Structure 1
Amino acid sequence: MPLSNIEIIHQDEALLVVNKPTLLLSVPGRAEDNRDCLVTRLQDNGYPEARIVHRLDWETSGLIVLARDADSHRELSRQFHDRETEKAYTALCWGEPAADSGRIELPLRYDPPTKPRHVVDHELGRHALTFWRVLERCGHYSRVELTPITGRSHQLRVHMLSIGHPLLGDRLYAHDEALAAAGRLCLHASLLVLGHPQSGERLRFESPAPF
């Protein structure tokens, strides 16, 4: 498959930063017909050495970094593991939160009976922490900035659902009104800050949300 709408934000000998479109896997799925994904498109179109460092959900768009050699992959992976990176997402959520900002600290786990959904579980869940801030109040929905401190699967989507403000267009977690309010999941990785794996220089990348 061609790169098509994959925008390359930055590239050098150590890394690539790209803008992943919605409805594209970050890595190949288990089924053979799910091979099409961000990393294989890059590998097939001039970047055969590209290695995934972190992931975005299939429906989530935005900034993602890939390494171009083993040492850079190791260093970037370490930064994510040790929470030395900074990430922020722009989202549209249903309703208007009562406060202008807050934190959500609720443990999460995968829920096999309703796969691929995740749920809050105070006994078996893994620690998860999200900070949120209202950017704009728009009546039946709000534009918010979401900052995940941990990186659990579906963390932002489940955490916002847990405080009564599911994300618009979320086919897994939104109620009917919130689902119908947008034609896609309104979640976009809009900020990524990391250290260059070779020079150590602090790099900051921003991508405005397409909604």
Structure 2
Amino acid sequence: MKRLERMIIDEGTEGIRIDAWLSERLEGFSRTYIQKLLEDGLIKVNDKRVKVNYRLRADDSIEISVPEPERLDVRPEKIRLDVVYEDGDIIIINKEKGMVVHPAAGNHTGTLVNALMDYCGDSLSDINGIIRPGIVHRIDKDTSGVLVVAKNNNAHERLSERLKDHDIKRVYAAVVEGVIKEDSGKIDAPIGRHPVERKKMSVNTKNGRRAVTYFKVLERFRDTTYVELTLETGRTHQIRVHMSYIGYPLVGDMVYGKKKQKYGICGQMLHARVLGFIHPIKNEYMEFEARLPGYFEELLQSLRV
């Protein structure tokens, strides 16, 4: 563990956010990386952990501990990728269902990152370290659809800022259990770690972060509903948690939905259909759409019979 010397704040710096102030003064440290250090408790003010939006005060003492780079053996693998769009700064991938986005415990191979490392070589941002090169945002293993990958740190940082500002359009298609009566609606309920089952998320009014999902009914069936879902925020498992919370869990979702699935679907029926944002370098609005995968269309056809 490398320890940087303490920094003492003078009066002229009062009121500035700690992440913004440090990113200007620490060469080679992006604001995104500094925010991660703050969240991990590796940056302390007056020997105490602070949030990323902490505003500095005169005579504050800042201490920064930087961990040694992780030494994991993440290797390139030749895995077919459905590339929707690519330029010198970003790649838009239509991820297939069943693919994990980045290596983690139990999934060191066969991930999107392994495929990207083979496809892009060294042309991926390194802000998120060696196990998540280029990864700006994630979608779950059993969720299919579009996501954006950054080829360099400049593009990565700008896309990350737009995500935090809710300035990226993300529209999903899903099939849920039950028949929704309302044609549309808004779910505004904070999401945090489940108080008992720590591997799950839940609506958590005490420790959760604000989460907003909009839904629109596209088609109603006998005991299910085909819906369009738009994210305002992007919390872990947000759509799955929110739809379960209002009584309409996703078909196939064994974690937040029914344990017995009568349609023979393994994994939630959720597809990231539309992704729209201002290009981080060209500064032009771009929008991408991934058609519903075959298994999704087949279920819809069977429900219409």
Query: TM class, shorter-chain normalised?
Result: over 0.9
- The one-letter amino acid paired with 1:29 is A
Larger radius of gyration: 2
Q: Give the Cα separation in 2 of the matches to 1:207 and 1:121.
A: 32
Superposition CA RMSD, Å? 1.6
Asked if structure 2 preserves the Cα contact closer than 8 Å seen for 1:195 and 1:203, the reply is yes
Q: 2:101 aligns with which of 19, 23, 26?
A: 26
Counterpart amino acid of 1:180?
K
Residues 40-49 or 12-21, more deviating: 40-49
Say whether 1:116 aligns with 2:199: yes
* Alignment check: 8 A CA contact 2:171 2:273 kept: yes
What residue in structure 2 maps to residue 180 of structure 1? 262
Deviation sequence 1:22-67 (CA, Å, 0-9, x none): 1111111135x53431122111234432311111111111100001
* 1:48 is aligned to 2:122: yes
Paired residues, what number? Answer: 208
Q: Note if 1:195 corresponds to 2:270.
A: no
Which of 93, 111, 114 matches 1:37?
A: 111
2:196 partner SS:
helix
Where does residue 204 of structure 1 map in the other structure?
287
More strand, by proportion: 1
- Please list, as runs of the form range in 1=range in 2, the aligned pairs for 1:49-68 lying within 5 A after superposition: 49-50=123-124, 51-68=134-151
Distance 1:115 1:2, change over 3 A: farther
Question: Of the candidates 234, 237, 255, which is equivalent to residue 154 of structure 1?
Answer: 237
Aligned to 2:70: none
1:89-104 aligned at under 5 Å gives the runs 89-104=172-187
- For 2:78, the equivalent position in structure 1 comes to 2
What do residues 138-169 of structure 1 show as CA deviations (whole Å, max 9, x unaligned)?
Answer: 22111100111111111100110111110011
Residues of 1 paired with 2:120 and 2:154: CA distance? Answer: 20
**Aligned twin of 1:145:** 228
Deviation of residue 98 (structure 1)? 1.2
Gaps of 5+ in 2: 1-76, 125-133, 297-305
Partner residue of 1:167? Answer: 250
Greater shift after overlay, 75-84 or 89-98?
75-84
Indicate conservation of the 8 Å contact 1:42/1:48, yes or no: no
- Residue 15 of structure 1: CA displacement? 0.5
Deviations 1:56-112 (A, max 9, x none): 111111100001111111111111111111101000001111111101111111126
Structure 2 residue identity aligned to 1:148? L
**Percentage of pairs with the same residue:** 34
Long gaps (5+) in structure 1: none
Provide the TM-score with structure 2 as the length reference: 0.65
**TM-score in terms of structure 1 length:** 0.92
- CA separation of 1:47/1:96 partners in 2, compared to 1, >3 Å: closer, same or farther? farther
Query: Residue 141 and residue 47 in structure 1: after superposition, are their counterparts in 2 closer, same or farther (change >3 A)?
Result: farther
1:12 to 87, 90, 99: 87
Superposition misfits of 4+ residues, deviation over 3 angstroms: none
Partner SS for 1:176: coil
Q: Distance in 1 between matches of 2:113 and 2:262?
A: 31
- Contact 2:79–2:110 (8 Å) recurs in 1: no
